[in-house]
Each structure stands twice: as C-alpha cells, then as structure tokens.
C-alpha cells in the first residue's frame, strides 16, 4: 500500500473529478445524476499495514512507492488512518524498542480498528514464536487494550480475539459485525455506513426474496435481509462465510440461507447445469426472487453471472471498479436501465472509486 498524496485542501476538487469520471462512464446508459457520498478528510482508514525498516539500529514503520521496494518512506504517524491507529503506532514502537523478544526478526505490522475503537494488531516474524514471545505479547496486549495476533511460517498465535467488533448504524438501527483478521472488510467505515444506508434505501421494503452474490462477511446481507422476505446469499471464502454466519446470529437475522459457492457455481446450480452437495437441503424453487444484489471483485461479473442477473426485476450493484461496472451495464442495457446511481468516496486522494447503481427492467 503506497502512501496517498494527503492534501485535504484538494479534497473537494478530487471528489468533483471522480464524479465527472463516473458521469462520463455512465453517460451511454442515460444514467441519472449520481448521488455523492463524501469521506472524512482525514483519519478515515480503519486498517493499515506497514513493513519495518532498520535504520540507525532501530526499526521504523515504512511504506514504499509502487514498484520500488528499496526506497522506504519512514513514517511516524499516518493521518489518513484512524485516530486509534495513530494513537497505537508510537506506543507499539516503544514496546518493540524496549524488548528484544518482541522486536527480534519482526518485519511487518498490521492494524485493524473500528469506528467504535476496537483494535487488533498483527505482528509478523521471520522466526518461530516461543513461550517468551507469548508472555511478552500478552503483557503488551493488556497494556495497549488490543487483541494481538503473532504470525510466522506455520504459526498463528492469538491473544484475545482474532477479530474486531464493529457497530454500524443503518436507517437508525444499530448492526454489529465481527471483522476477522486477514479477511476483507471495507477500510473506510464512515463511507461504508453511507453505502449500507444507500443500498437499504434503494432496495426498499419488499415482499419477495433477494439473491446476494459475493456476500463477504455479511456487510450488506445483515441490513438488507430486514427489507425482504428471505435471502439466499453466496460467498466462496470460508473465513468470510464463518464471519457472515456469526454476524447474522449476532444481529438475530434468521431469514438468510448462506451457501459457500462462487457466483459462477450458483449460476450453474440455478441453470440446473449440475448439482452441488453444498446446496443439499436448500429448495431453490421455493424462492421468489425479485432482486439480486452484487458486490463483485474488481474484475466485475463474468458474462454468465451477468446473464443470470438479467432474470431479475432489480439489480442492485456495488462496484469497486467503474470500468468493469460500465462493461457489465453494457451487457444488460437492452433489458435493464439505470434508475439510481451513487459515488462513494471510499479511497480519498487516490484514483480508486466505489460506486453503486440500481438497474430496473425496462
């Protein structure tokens, strides 16, 4: 992760450029004006990863420009990261500087925090972790009031929890989330909350069913399930599936069936191309799907999955890559039209854009 060009004074101009780019990409589809959801100007990023660099006999937090792994940018603080990360950085550095046990062959540090102030630190080593390390790490975790994970080849030692607990407010209701170490979570919590609110509003209250592809840890699943009769959700990552099941249980959401299938595999199942043991006990024909929700990876939906979504009256699509979003909309344009769109500034001071569209049958 390279250090963004942090310049709050330029934020509004950068956001306007992103909006213009999204408008241009969606112009061929006669999309309406995008709703724009801005980011806090600083302290918005809830996770950060640093390599450690030795200089003058001390280890320093370091980042590198893209393509250059030999010229470190040494860092004392990180203004785009959460206040909790900035508070922990100097205290953690002081701890490893005071302890050979903690610092020996330590090469990477990762911070995972939440809007509620929960924190987990991962320390990665080029050596086995022993009882002496465990004892020091337990003292450190208590001192910093964090959970801590130690990693080395073939080892993963957890002190406290291996996840953080987040709380997000959607339409006035509080939802709780477990966010596991090493799994994907939205890095900008304030904007994530706005994304959830937008999707909740756009879906509306419905009396039919929702299909969700690429559900991750249930970030969208949990609030959207309160808007429909029932949900069939899919996710391929076992870690994310386990987190999603915990999040559904923690929020007392009981109208979701979650299956560990890729979007491509579910497409094959719905097309009756082949059966899947992981769908045993799930009656696909019992669903009355009115809407499909997709939040695919940067590559977008593959052509077959895109064709699958064409069957639905409403396609609610969250995208982290507007180019592949536009390509998917082009495939669907003869049957569906864009009726709502939004820009979510998850990644200020970078060219990356998160966007959302509602496509409804013509």
Closest CA to 76 of 92, 100, 99, 65: 92
100 is in an annotated binding site: no
- 219 marked as binding residue: yes
Annotated binding residue at 349? no
Element housing 71 (H / E): none
> 305: Cβ–Cβ under 8 A, 6 or more apart, which residues?
213, 263, 264, 267, 294, 296
Buried b (16+ CB within 10 A) or exposed e, 46-56: bbbebbbbeee
Nearest Cα to 331, choosing from 356, 303, 359? 303
Cβ neighbourhood burial of 148 (10 Å; 0-12, 13-18, 19+): buried
Maximum alpha-carbon separation in the chain: 67
Catalytic one among 192, 215, 306, 320?
Answer: 320
Tell me if 346 is assigned to a ligand binding site. Answer: no
* 323 phi, psi to nearest 5 deg: -70, -45
Known binding residue 214? Answer is yes
Query: Taking the CB of residue 44, how many other CB atoms lie within 10 A of it?
Result: 20
- Residue 207, sorted as left (phi over 0), alpha (psi -120 to 50) or beta, turns out to be alpha
CB atoms under 10 Å from CB of 325, counted, come to 24
Residue whose pair of structure tokens reads 């250059």 in the numeric block? 68
CA–CA gap between residue 103 and residue 127 (Å, rounded): 11
In the sheet that holds 119-125, the strands lie side by side as: 72-75, 58-64, 47-55, 106-113, 119-125, 147-152, 155-159
Give yes or no: 354 in active site: yes
* Residue found by looking up tokens 């009115």 in the block: 290
> Catalytic residue positions?
320, 354
* Residues annotated within a binding site for S-adenosyl-L-methionine: 186, 214, 219, 235, 295
């Amino acid at each position: 992760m390279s250090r963004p060009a942090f310049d709050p004074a330029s934020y509004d101009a950068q956001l306007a450029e992103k909006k213009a780019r999204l408008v241009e990409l969606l112009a061929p589809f006669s999309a309406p004006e995008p709703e724009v959801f801005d980011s806090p100007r600083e302290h918005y990023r809830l996770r950060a990863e640093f390599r450690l660099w030795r200089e003058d006999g001390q280890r320093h937090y370091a980042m590198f420009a893209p393509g250059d792994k030999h010229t470190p940018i040494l860092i004392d603080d990180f203004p785009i990261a959460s206040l909790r990360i900035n508070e922990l950085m100097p205290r953690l550095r002081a701890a490893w500087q005071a302890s050979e046990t903690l610092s020996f062959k330590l090469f990477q540090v990762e911070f995972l925090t939440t809007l509620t102030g929960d924190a987990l630190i991962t320390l990665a080593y080029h050596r086995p972790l022993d009882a002496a390390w465990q004892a020091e790490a337990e003292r450190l975790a208590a001192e910093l009031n964090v959970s801590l994970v130690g990693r080395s080849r073939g080892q993963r030692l957890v002190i406290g929890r291996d996840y953080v607990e987040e709380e997000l407010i959607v339409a006035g209701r509080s939802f709780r989330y477990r966010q596991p170490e090493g799994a994907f979570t939205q890095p900008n919590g304030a904007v994530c909350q706005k994304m959830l609110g937008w999707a909740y509003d756009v879906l509306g209250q419905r009396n039919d069913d929702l299909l969700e592809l690429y559900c991750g840890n249930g970030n969208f699943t949990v609030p959207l399930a309160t808007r429909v009769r029932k949900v069939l959700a899919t996710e391929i990552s076992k870690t994310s599936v386990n987190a999603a099941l915990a999040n559904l249980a923690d929020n007392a959401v009981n109208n979701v069936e979650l299956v560990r299938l890729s979007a491509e595999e579910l497409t094959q199942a719905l097309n009756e191309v082949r059966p899947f043991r992981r769908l045993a006990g799930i009656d696909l024909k019992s669903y009355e799907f009115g809407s499909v929700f997709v939040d695919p990876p940067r590559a977008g939906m593959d052509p077959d999955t895109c064709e699958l979504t064409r069957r639905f009256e409403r396609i609610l699509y969250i995208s982290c890559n507007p180019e592949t979003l536009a390509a998917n909309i082009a495939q669907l344009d003869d049957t569906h039209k864009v009726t709502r769109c939004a820009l979510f500034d998850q990644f200020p001071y970078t060219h990356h854009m998160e966007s959302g569209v509602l496509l409804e049958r013509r």
